Structure 1
């Protein structure tokens, strides 16, 4: 079976209405696969996987770019290459790219490196391009069509370092084979053939798995109902990933006073949270503190003028829990407007809320921290200290030329880091960027290091309608540190991207972090949910990790909070779009177990 080749189609899409699928999304490279050369199945929900990076202007602002006519090819070293026409964001000709094509390389068709513009000398706009590696001559053959409708080609030994490229010469016209693909909006380009292992990895990474079977011990020896309830099932998914799930065992037929063998049944327990769990609540955060769960969020119902908190003994109990107001814009003179994105964090034995607020105008929005008094009740407004503004290590304000917001916490190996979104407004609006710094564990509103830039909204999915990356939140595993970020305008185009670093990396080194080319979660990921984003993570009593996020139940509908289990894919990376039906197949919810009472 390994010798079987799969076809991988690269394509772009026709743009739709801006709230549905704008040019910044449509003009990116998409992928589909075929096993028989006839039927093609889209990957990544028919969304782009490769976006052109924005270019930087002289004033530091970004100029969004898109791509058209991508051409996928296999490279001599076993990697993959993509050549494409770089365009302006709306697909119109890019003057900076005149006489050039855009080049990318990839080891796996998932993560791409933008090599940059490959100059073809002519000085005219390139209209179409293709590239192939010729094994006989051991050279790459690059062909292109210019705006005068003439075709040219040149050859080179290394397409990434084209210093020995031959002089361009006229060549015969080339056309790409048209094919009936049957994918919505598809503008097909070319197909390459890859091995089964490469194709399966793509399929596993770019489609949502489903629950296909369970694994349980053949027999367990337990002597009490408590021990029995600790026996869990391992759910197996179509991509080979797993998830450990609790079971409600029916022990009515077991006589614990009589040793012997028993066969019992059980039901896999799945907490189900119908979307939404809270109306008009955005940027939600759930945290556990001293055995109790708490929920806070931005209050869209009152125009972001207050922050309330819910309290319950379980995550599910928060859904119906009453809210208690703990902060509003009448309590403090320095926080009169825009109470945004509260987050609960336990640090050094104290509970804190990180939030953004303004003394009056949008340009005054800044990150603040308030601490719960010793022995205080999180639901009592009077038990919280006055919020203080986050400052640099010298005591100066974090930002004097723009706004800061969405500050979050990351603890690793005894060190405390904060990440936040910062938008420089003076002298130019540069959009919202993601920063990181080390903070003081005893006073987490004080930085111990200089801010370090981690990410800009350079991809089309993050600068869709506005240049914004915001809402960072950390999710750590034994091997990796993941930070999800939200990008684009806070409407139906909002989506979630991913930054990742090795668990042993220097987190203040930008080179330690890898940014995904495409969003993890967008409007096409889960039916009926639009503009998902600004999520946080919490672990329940069973060790299950939940994503707490906001989305809209319809285009133009209000932001509402939701809950969904975080699954981990074949690389151990978070998967945020696994629905309840995909997570647990109802036909596999009943399980059986042989029990030995000693």
Structure 2
């Protein structure tokens, strides 16, 4: 009887011209770190004209850039020296390079901002900027000068450019007393407008100090500001607490007023966005930047982190990347830093692959107010899912068979719905053939309604995803109730 029902459903689907399930176009798989030590702290990454570009702290007098057509390829891409520093008091300790394609007096050019100082670390750090000769991020570059940002040309680091309303602003970190920790100073965030890419309009004004307890572990620090924008909202993300502790983390301000130069225009989020994950073996994840996938549909973060809580603020830090998501209220959700063992699908559209990855919910047929969701990595169907991202999945080509589908969590990148002892769970892709098979399902015509869908296990083809007492599992299906329990619809 079950075979007859399946054949009937299949024939109905063919008659109705049911479309094949959409398959995504993620890039080559990647595992962290994307770039290993030693030149891999304070990373910047961007995607431009078919290639990824990467730069990071070198602790030397050289600025290095890597280029690769894939994110995974950056790990072995050669380091090219694009500039060797020889300016007075700026011959060593290059930190936190940040590249920006801006309109300047010489047309559209890349501007490479960095912190540098004398060979004795680290009180001599100041901001400097280079200009490319054309629009190639690899240069060549010429030195445009130092940016005087504080009174008496005081200490300043970690600068980047934020553009709001067509105006370029320079955001950076310095001490609120222009002194240092030893004088009771708080390392804080400052901003100034740029009259051109190498000239501040004025000394910086303060927009954030480390006031929350989570910003003051080890030392009171706000540093590494980097802008993140979406739907006409501007978030200024930053690193908080001392980088030598495992509690270095990421916080954010939102521009809620009209004047970016006014401290009152910024609202600080009370909780960090991104922090250590002892379970995943990731410590001190911060000092970051953001980049778009090649097709422009995904936002990614690149950040540095350590493998143990005892490693500090030196050359043990490695660069890591993962996809980020957005909450229903329009705020960024950076998720949890993934384990180095987790296999991530590369950014959507790499190497010219067509189409964006489909992000959808999975609706129950017989309990239509309920959707598939994960909760503490268990799976079930629920109504009014909160947080909403727990019920959203990237529908990608099957990990074991490209004609099937797999479901990757939006807010836990690299984690997929997979069956384990017939129970459906959200688990990280460990790269094994068994995992790929367990996380792959064939989308077929709905067992209870041909206009809907059912999901047949790839490696247990007599079993289908179904809900039982709201929990999800894979089971053989024979009764009308079971057919209804095993019928779903992919929806936005």
Q: Normalising by structure 1, what TM-score? A: 0.50
1:311 aligns with 2:64: no
Over the aligned positions, Cα root-mean-square deviation in angstroms equals 2.8
Residue 20 of structure 2 corresponds to which residue in structure 1? 264
C-alpha contact 2:89 2:124 (8 A) present in aligned 1: no
Following superposition, the deviation at residue 512 of structure 1 comes to 1.4
Q: After superposition, where does 1:476-495 map in structure 2 within 5 Å?
A: 476-491=229-244, 492-495=246-249
* Residue from 463, 467, 487 that aligns with 2:220: 467
Is 521-530 or 454-463 further displaced after alignment? 521-530
Following superposition, the deviation at residue 474 of structure 1 comes to 0.2
1:531 aligns with 2:284: yes
**Given the superposition, is the C-alpha separation of residues 590 and 475 from structure 1 closer, same or farther in structure 2, using an over 3 Å criterion?**
farther
Tell me the SS of whatever aligns to 1:385: strand
* Residue from 276, 294, 300 that aligns with 2:53: 294
1:373 aligns with 2:133: yes
**Given the superposition, is the C-alpha separation of residues 554 and 387 from structure 1 closer, same or farther in structure 2, using an over 3 Å criterion?**
farther
Deviations 1:493-549 (Å, cap 9, x if unpaired)?
A: 2111111123x7321221111112221111137621100101100001232110010
Residue 252 of structure 2 corresponds to which residue in structure 1? 498
C-alpha contact 1:267 1:589 (8 A) present in aligned 2: no
C-alpha contact 1:273 1:563 (8 A) present in aligned 2: no
* Residue from 307, 319, 328 that aligns with 1:561: 319
* Residue from 67, 85, 102 that aligns with 1:347: 102
Please give the alpha-carbon distance, in whole angstroms, between the structure 2 residues aligned to 1:364 and 1:275: 33
Following superposition, the deviation at residue 327 of structure 1 comes to 2.9
Following superposition, the deviation at residue 449 of structure 1 comes to 4.3
1:575 aligns with 2:327: no
* Residue from 397, 421, 426 that aligns with 2:173: 421
**Given the superposition, is the C-alpha separation of residues 350 and 379 from structure 1 closer, same or farther in structure 2, using an over 3 Å criterion?**
closer
C-alpha contact 1:267 1:591 (8 A) present in aligned 2: no
Please give the alpha-carbon distance, in whole angstroms, between the structure 1 residues aligned to 2:292 and 2:272: 23
Please give the alpha-carbon distance, in whole angstroms, between the structure 2 residues aligned to 1:586 and 1:325: 44
Following superposition, the deviation at residue 388 of structure 1 comes to 1.2
Tell me the SS of whatever aligns to 1:461: helix
Residue 431 of structure 2 corresponds to which residue in structure 1? none
Tell me the SS of whatever aligns to 1:264: coil
Q: After superposition, where does 1:115-126 map in structure 2 within 5 Å?
A: none
Following superposition, the deviation at residue 589 of structure 1 comes to 5.9
Residue 371 of structure 2 corresponds to which residue in structure 1? none
Deviations 1:83-141 (Å, cap 9, x if unpaired)?
A: xxxxxxxxxxxxxxxxxxxxxxxxxxxxxxxxxxxxxxxxxxxxxxxxxxxxxxxxxxx
Following superposition, the deviation at residue 433 of structure 1 comes to 0.8
C-alpha contact 1:498 1:520 (8 A) present in aligned 2: yes
Please give the alpha-carbon distance, in whole angstroms, between the structure 2 residues aligned to 1:566 and 1:508: 28
Tell me the SS of whatever aligns to 1:327: strand
**Given the superposition, is the C-alpha separation of residues 544 and 430 from structure 1 closer, same or farther in structure 2, using an over 3 Å criterion?**
same
**Given the superposition, is the C-alpha separation of residues 508 and 372 from structure 1 closer, same or farther in structure 2, using an over 3 Å criterion?**
same
Please give the alpha-carbon distance, in whole angstroms, between the structure 2 residues aligned to 1:525 and 1:554: 9
Q: After superposition, where does 1:25-424 map in structure 2 within 5 Å?
A: 261=17, 263-265=19-21, 267-271=23-27, 272-280=29-37, 281-299=40-58, 303-329=59-85, 331-348=86-103, 349-361=108-120, 362-374=122-134, 377-379=136-138, 383-391=140-148, 398-400=150-152, 402-423=154-175, 424=178
Please give the alpha-carbon distance, in whole angstroms, between the structure 2 residues aligned to 1:590 and 1:439: 53
1:540 aligns with 2:293: yes
C-alpha contact 2:83 2:141 (8 A) present in aligned 1: no
* Residue from 585, 588, 593 that aligns with 2:416: 585
Tell me the SS of whatever aligns to 1:585: strand
> Which structure: larger Rg?
1
Following superposition, the deviation at residue 276 of structure 1 comes to 1.2
Following superposition, the deviation at residue 260 of structure 1 comes to 9.5
Tell me the SS of whatever aligns to 1:454: strand
Deviations 1:309-347 (Å, cap 9, x if unpaired)?
A: 011234343333221122345x44442121000011100
Tell me the SS of whatever aligns to 1:485: strand
Tell me the SS of whatever aligns to 2:264: helix
**Given the superposition, is the C-alpha separation of residues 344 and 401 from structure 1 closer, same or farther in structure 2, using an over 3 Å criterion?**
closer
Please give the alpha-carbon distance, in whole angstroms, between the structure 1 residues aligned to 2:189 and 2:130: 22
**Given the superposition, is the C-alpha separation of residues 541 and 292 from structure 1 closer, same or farther in structure 2, using an over 3 Å criterion?**
same
**Given the superposition, is the C-alpha separation of residues 318 and 591 from structure 1 closer, same or farther in structure 2, using an over 3 Å criterion?**
farther
Residue 383 of structure 2 corresponds to which residue in structure 1? none
Please give the alpha-carbon distance, in whole angstroms, between the structure 1 residues aligned to 2:444 and 2:112: 45
C-alpha contact 2:42 2:287 (8 A) present in aligned 1: yes
Following superposition, the deviation at residue 278 of structure 1 comes to 1.2
Please give the alpha-carbon distance, in whole angstroms, between the structure 2 residues aligned to 1:507 and 1:525: 36
Please give the alpha-carbon distance, in whole angstroms, between the structure 1 residues aligned to 2:41 and 2:151: 25
Following superposition, the deviation at residue 391 of structure 1 comes to 3.0
Following superposition, the deviation at residue 364 of structure 1 comes to 1.9
Please give the alpha-carbon distance, in whole angstroms, between the structure 1 residues aligned to 2:72 and 2:49: 17
Q: Normalising by structure 2, what TM-score? A: 0.60
Please give the alpha-carbon distance, in whole angstroms, between the structure 2 residues aligned to 1:560 and 1:420: 22
Please give the alpha-carbon distance, in whole angstroms, between the structure 1 residues aligned to 2:84 and 2:209: 32
